[in-house]
Amino acid sequence: MLRLLILILLLANGGYYAWSQGHLREWGFAPVQEGEPQRMGQQLRPDTLQILRARPTNPAPPVPVSEATPPAGTAAECLQAGVLDERQAEAVRTAAAALPQGSWVLESTPTPARWMVYMGRFEDQETLDKKRAELRARKVDFDRPGGTLEIGLSLGRFTTEDAAKRELASLGEKGVRTARVIPERTETPGFTLRLPAVTDALRSQLDTLRSALAGKALRSCS
């Protein structure tokens, strides 16, 4: 019985192999072929196929040249003038009152105090020339002090009194004995006029403002 079962399995396997390989085709037993001729025969109207390019979703419309480039003359420019003293600032306030609100501002920009290491005043030009020769021999730089401090010598100008005193001490080590620290000027209030966005329309209104500036030119903001 077992031998008969094995024989049946062998015959079944052999028959399947012969069928799958097409050896039984001439007796009408063979698997259906799916080669290229059969596939071509199954196509539906292949001559009507068209290849289409993909289109972007919601394409952006072209931007007109007039919108892409701002028209000439519409760009705003920042202008400023200063430093103005209190009298000039008051005149500017009066003239600027006619301009559009928010188009200008006066910013506080005080002139800082300054100190000088000073020698003088000397009795005459001969004494001044002698002091200059002494300072050159000690390799000490000097300059004219200007204003009411003539006839004398400036050995340096400083924004703080402490810095001037430190320089005086350093000069003492070089043999300079008669110099001293003096205030060259005190801090004074000052103002800068600033117009942050000047268009052509606003520019045409600045004539009265220029006269109030008393020679202070309107320049581009730095």
pLDDT digits (tens, 9 = 90+) for 168-192: 999 999 999 999 999 999 999 999 9
Contacts of 191 (CB under 8 A, 6+ apart): 82, 83, 84, 85, 86, 88, 89, 92, 106, 107, 108, 109
Q: Scanning the structure block, which residue is given the tokens 């110099």?
A: 179
Element (H, E) at 80: strand 77-84
Domains of the chain are 77-110+189-220 (3.30.70.120), 114-185 (3.30.70)
Q: How far apart are CA 184 and CA 116, in angstroms?
A: 6
Q: What would the pLDDT profile of 93-123 be if each residue is shown by its tens digit?
A: 999 999 999 999 999 999 999 999 999 999 9
Q: Please state, in angstroms and rounded to a whole number, the distance separating the CA atoms of residues 78 and 197.
A: 5
Residue 16: pLDDT band by 50, 70, 90 thresholds?
Answer: confident
Query: What is the distance in angstroms between the CA of the first residue and the CA of the last residue of the chain?
Result: 111
Provide the token pair at 103.
């188009």
User: Cα dist. 112→20, 64, 116, 156 in Å?
Assistant: 106, 54, 13, 16
